[in-house]
């Protein structure tokens, strides 16, 4: 299986940055409105504002969890490869949704010989399979994964 660098970059860097910026802008705009408002009365607007802050704070936290600065340091033309046995396959906490073969997939962390690598999907691979991967050296993002022959 081969994966697209642009989709990784978008979902691991661009989208989280946008989420963080929107979250910060909305939270500060609402806090500014509360602080400099003449009315400090508990009303519908205030209650709606609290919900807005909670929602955008969650957006901010989610964006921060998904943000992967190290992918900016990777050069798509300089991939490393390694072969080994899959030790474990774990779910990513608060995962972004990737599209692979016209399906929405959730990313996984694959451990190979004690080192963790990030992949958008594992497909048919299972723990114990001998595989060869091509990955980006800084972010440990898998660009290609195949069975070892």
pLDDT at 146 over 80: yes
pTM of the predicted structure, to 2 decimals: 0.70
Decide if pLDDT at 111 tops 90: yes
Domain parsing of the chain, residue ranges? 5-72, 78-147
Task: Using alpha carbons, list the distances in angstroms from residue 69 to 49, 65, 103.
Answer: 31, 11, 26
19-77 pLDDT, tens per residue? 888 878 887 877 777 777 665 555 666 677 777 778 777 766 766 666 666 777 778 88
Q: Tens digits of per-residue pLDDT, 121-142? A: 777 888 988 999 999 988 888 8
Distance separating alpha carbons of residues 40 and 25, to the nearest angstrom: 21
State whether CATH 2.40.50 applies to domain 78-147. Answer: yes
Between CA 143 and CA 55 the distance in angstroms is: 33
């Amino acid at each position: 299986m081969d994966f697209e660098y642009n989709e990784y970059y978008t979902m691991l860097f661009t989208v989280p940055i946008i989420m963080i910026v929107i979250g910060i802008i909305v939270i500060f705009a609402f806090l500014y409105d509360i602080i400099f408002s003449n009315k400090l009365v508990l009303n519908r607007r205030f209650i709606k504002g609290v919900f807005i802050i909670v929602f955008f704070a969650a957006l901010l936290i989610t964006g921060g969890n998904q943000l992967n600065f190290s992918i900016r340091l990777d050069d798509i033309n300089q991939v490393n490869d390694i072969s080994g046995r899959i030790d474990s396959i774990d779910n990513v906490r608060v995962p972004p949704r990737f599209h692979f073969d016209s399906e929405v997939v959730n990313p996984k962390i694959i451990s190979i010989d004690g080192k963790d690598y990030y992949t958008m999907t594992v497909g048919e691979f299972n723990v114990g399979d001998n595989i060869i991967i091509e990955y980006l050296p800084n972010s440990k993002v898998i660009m290609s994964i195949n069975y070892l022959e």
